[in-house]
Amino acid sequence: MNDFRTSILPAAARLVVPVQCVFSIYLLLRGHNLPGGGFIGGLVLASALVLRAMVAPSRAPKFDLIVLSGIGLLVALASAAMPWLGGGTFFTGLWGGQIWLPTVGKIKLGTPLLFDIGVFLVVTGVAAKLLLVLMSQTDESDA
Amino acid sequence: MDFQPIALPIALPLLAVGLLLCLRRAGEPVRHAINILSCVAQAVVAVILYLRVSADGVQALRSGSWPAPFGITLVADLFSAVMVLVTAVIGLGSALYAAGYGTGKFRGYFAPLYQALLLGVNGSFLTGDLFNLYVWFEVMLMSSFVLVALPGGRPQFEAAVKYLTLNFIASAFFLVGLGVLYGMTGTLNMADLSVKIAALGDNGLILSSAVLFLVAFGIKAGVFPFYFWLPSSYHVTPTPVAALFAGLLTKVGVYACARVFTLVYGGQQEFLAPLLLAIGVLTMITGVFGAASQFFIPRILSFHIISQIGYMIIGIGFFTRAALAATVFYVVHHILVKANLFLIGGVIGRRTGSQELSMTGGLYKKAPWLAILFLIPAMSLGGIPPLSGFFAKFVLVREGLAIGQGWVIAAALAVGLLTLYSMVKIWNEAFWKDAPLGDRQPDRKVPFLMLAPCVALAACTITFGIFPGVFLDVADRAAAQLTDPTAYIEAVLPSSPPSPAEP
C-alpha cells in the first residue's frame, strides 16, 4: 500500500467519505427514472471504500468483497425470479406501493428496485476489490 | 405456473455463480459439488426444453413481459434446444473431469468462472436479439479470458493476451455491424430484422453489415484467416477448461453464423454463399496442415478444431436444407468428439507425465482400454464408419455432389484423409511405440472421475453411429426451421402481417 499519510488527505477523506456513502444511496434510489442507478451508485460507494483504505490501510473493508458481489448476484436473480414464482414471466416488474423520501422524492418499491440493489452490491464488491488488489502491490495470494 | 424452461438454462448457471462466490471460502469438494449439481440441473432443464420444442414448435419468452421488438425475447427453436442440450452434456462431463483433475491453481475461482462461461454459452444459444447476443459473447469472453489467465505463468499470460486482443477486435466488428444494422432498420430483434431487411431489398449497407458480422463470428469460430488465436491459447489451459473451450466456444461462432445468415440475411444468400464456401475450404485446409506439423497433443487437437469448423461453414454456405442439417449434425458430433479427445489427451498426459508425443509411448501395453477409448473419438473425427463423424461427412458430401459443388467436396475428402493421418500419429506415438524412458516412464494412476466422462462421451459417439437415422432426423427438422424461418418469426412476433411495407 502506498503511503498517503499527509494531513490533507485524511482531513478531506473525513468529510468526503460520508458524503460519498450517502450520495451513492441517493443515486441508487433515484435511478429508475432519473440519471443514477445501481451501477453508478456502486462505483461511488466503491470509491468511498477505497478512499478510506488509502488513508489508513487498517480501514480497508473487513468483509469479503467477493462475497458481497455474490450476494448482489443472488439478489438480482431473486428480483428476476420473483414474478416467475408468482406465475408470471421472468423479469416482469412487480410493484408494491411507494414511499416518499426527502431529496430523493417518490420511490416506487418493487422488483426493479431490488434488481438495482443487486447491481449496486455487485459493482461495489467488484470495483472495490479490483482497486484494492491493484493498490496492494504485493500479490494477494488468496485474491 | 408456467415452468418456462427457456429462461432456466440462463437462470441456473447465474444462481450457481452467485452461490459459488458467496461460498468461496468453502472447501474445494463443496465447490465442485455445486458445479456438478448445477450442470445436472441444466441437463434436466435442457431435456425438458428440447422435448417441449420438439413437440410444440418454436418457443419464445418475452422477458419482462415486454412485447417482441421492444423487449428482449428469448427464443428456442430446435437448433437452439439441441445446442443447449449438448452444452449441458459437455458442461457436466468437463465438470466431473475437473473434480478428478484438480483445480487448485484457480484459487477457488474455477467453479464460478466455469458456470459464468456456461451462462454465456446458453445465453448466446437462446437469445432472439442481436445486441443481446453481443452481451452474451462478452460474458463468455470475460469468463474464458480469466480461465486462461488465472493459473498464472508466462505462457498462460501470453495466450490470454492474444486471446483477449483478437476477441476484442471481433467484438468491435460486431458492434460496428450492429450500429449499421440499427441505423438502417431501427431494430435488433432478429425476427423483426428478418422481416424488415426482406422489405428493404438489396442494399450495399445491409451487405456490408453482413460482412462485418461474418468477420466477428469468423474470429469467434476460428475460421481462416482469423484462426491464429485458437492454437496459441487452448493448449496452455488445464484439460477440463480446454475441453470446454474446444467443444463450445468456436461452435457458438458457428451457431451465430448459421442463425444470423439464415434468419436475418435470408435474402442475401447469393452474396454470402461463395464467401462462406471459400472461407470454409481454406479453413479446412490450413487447419489440417497446421495439425500435421504439431507434436503436442492439445496443439494437434486445436488445429483440428479449425479444420472441422471448415466443414460446418461449408454446410452453412450451401444454404440448402440437407446441408444445414449436415451442419447441425456436424456441430453436435464435433462438440462431443472434440471435447472427448481433449479429455482423453489429458488422461494420457496424467498417466505418462506429458502430452508431448516424443515423451509418451507404450500405453497400448499398459492400458489397452485407454487405447480403445481414444480410438473411438479419433476414428469418428477422421470420418470412419460406423461412427458419428462418418454420417456427418456423408450427409455433407452427398448434398455437395447433389448441388454440383464437386471441388468443395474434393477438398473436404482430402482433408478427412489428413485428419486420419494426425489421429494415427497420436495413436502411433502415444500407444504403439515403446515408452521412450523404458521402465523409468512414469505411470500414474488416473482418478475415476477423469475416466467416467470420457467413457460416457465415447458411448454418445457410438450411439450416434448406431442410430444415425434418429439424430439425422432431428438435424433435418432443425434445418427445416432454419431454411424456413416463418415459424421462428411467428413465435416471436405473433401478430406480424405477412409482408409489412416498413419504411
Nearest to B167 by CA among B144, B198, B197, B195: B144
Q: Bridge-partner residues for B59, per DSSP?
A: B76
| B338's grid cell | 472434440
Interchain CB distance below 8 Å, A69 and B107: no
> How far, in Å, CA of B308 to CA of B415, rounded?
9
Residues B309, B310, B315, B316: is their CA dihedral positive or negative? positive
Residues in B closer than 8 angstroms to A87, CB to CB, are: 1-2
- Which residues make Cβ contacts (< 8 Å) with residue B303, sequence separation at least 6? B231, B287, B288, B290, B291, B294
Q: Is residue A30 part of a domain?
A: yes
Q: Is residue A114 part of a domain?
A: yes
CB A128 within 8 A of CB A21: no
Q: Bridge-partner residues for B127, per DSSP?
A: B74
Residues in A closer than 8 angstroms to B21, CB to CB, are: 66-67, 69-70, 73
Question: For residue B98, how many other CB atoms are within 10 A of its CB?
Answer: 26
Q: How far is A91 from chain B, CA to nearest CA, in Å?
A: 4
Q: Is residue A141 part of a domain?
A: no
pLDDT tens for A76-89 read 999 988 888 877 88
Q: Is residue A75 part of a domain?
A: yes
| B27's grid cell | 472447501
Q: Spell out the per-residue pLDDT of chain B, length 503, in tens.
A: 567 888 899 999 999 999 999 988 888 889 999 999 999 999 999 999 999 999 988 888 888 788 878 888 999 999 999 999 999 999 999 999 999 888 878 888 899 999 999 999 999 999 999 999 999 999 999 999 999 988 888 888 889 999 999 999 999 999 999 999 999 888 999 999 998 888 887 778 888 999 999 999 999 998 888 888 888 888 888 899 999 999 899 999 999 999 999 998 888 888 889 999 999 999 999 999 988 888 888 888 899 899 999 999 999 998 899 999 999 999 999 999 999 999 999 998 888 888 888 888 888 888 888 888 999 999 998 888 888 888 888 889 899 899 888 888 888 889 988 898 888 888 888 888 887 777 777 777 888 888 999 999 999 999 988 898 899 999 999 999 998 888 898 888 886 454 444 43
Identify the three-state secondary structure at position A98: strand
Q: Is residue A140 part of a domain?
A: no
Enter the ipTM.
0.86
Residues in A closer than 8 angstroms to B63, CB to CB, are: 89-91
Identify the three-state secondary structure at position B356: strand
Question: For residue A86, how many other CB atoms are within 10 A of its CB?
Answer: 10
Q: At what angle do helices B468-483 and B448-466 cross, to 10 degrees?
A: 80
Nearest to B398 by CA among B485, B321, B464, B450: B321
Q: Is residue A104 part of a domain?
A: yes
Q: How far is B15 from chain A, CA to nearest CA, in Å?
A: 6
Q: How far is A13 from chain B, CA to nearest CA, in Å?
A: 30
Interchain CB distance below 8 Å, A71 and B7: no
User: Cα A123–A124–A130 angle (5° rounding)?
Assistant: 85
Of B11, B21, B62, which is closest to A67 when you measure between CB atoms?
A: B21
CB B401 within 8 A of CB B461: no
- Which residues make Cβ contacts (< 8 Å) with residue B26, sequence separation at least 6? none
What pLDDT is attached to residue B476?
Answer: 92
Q: How far is A3 from chain B, CA to nearest CA, in Å?
A: 29
Q: Is residue A3 part of a domain?
A: no
Nearest residue in chain B measured CA to CA from A73: B18
Interchain CB distance below 8 Å, B22 and A74: yes
Identify the three-state secondary structure at position B384: coil
What pLDDT is attached to residue B331?
Answer: 94
Interchain CB distance below 8 Å, B107 and A88: no
The total of structural domains in chain A comes to 1
Q: How far is B210 from chain A, CA to nearest CA, in Å?
A: 32
In total, the C-beta contacts within 8 angstroms joining chain A to chain B are: 61
CB B247 within 8 A of CB B338: yes
Interchain CB distance below 8 Å, B24 and A87: no
What pLDDT is attached to residue A137?
Answer: 64
Residues in A closer than 8 angstroms to B19, CB to CB, are: 70, 74
Q: How far is B112 from chain A, CA to nearest CA, in Å?
A: 10
Q: Spell out the per-residue pLDDT of chain A, length 143, in tens.
A: 455 567 888 888 889 999 999 999 999 988 878 888 889 999 999 999 999 988 877 777 888 899 999 999 999 999 988 888 877 888 888 887 788 877 777 788 888 889 999 999 999 999 999 999 888 765 444 44
Residues in B closer than 8 angstroms to A111, CB to CB, are: none
- Which residues make Cβ contacts (< 8 Å) with residue B439, sequence separation at least 6? none
| A12's grid cell | 478531506
* Rounded-to-10 torsion of CA B199, B203, B205, B209: 70
* Domain ranges, residue A72: 8-135
* Rounded-to-10 torsion of CA B313, B318, B321, B327: -20
Nearest residue in chain A measured CA to CA from B15: A74
Residues in B closer than 8 angstroms to A90, CB to CB, are: 4, 7, 11, 61, 63-64
Interchain CB distance below 8 Å, B21 and A92: no
Q: Is residue A55 part of a domain?
A: yes
With b for 16 or more beta-carbon neighbours within 10 A and e for fewer, the B258-292 pattern comes to bbbbbbbbbbbbeebbebbbebbbbbbbbbbebbe
Of A70, A87, A93, which is closest to B21 when you measure between CB atoms?
A: A70
E-state strands within B307-438: none
Q: Bridge-partner residues for B189, per DSSP?
A: B129
Interchain CB distance below 8 Å, B17 and A73: yes
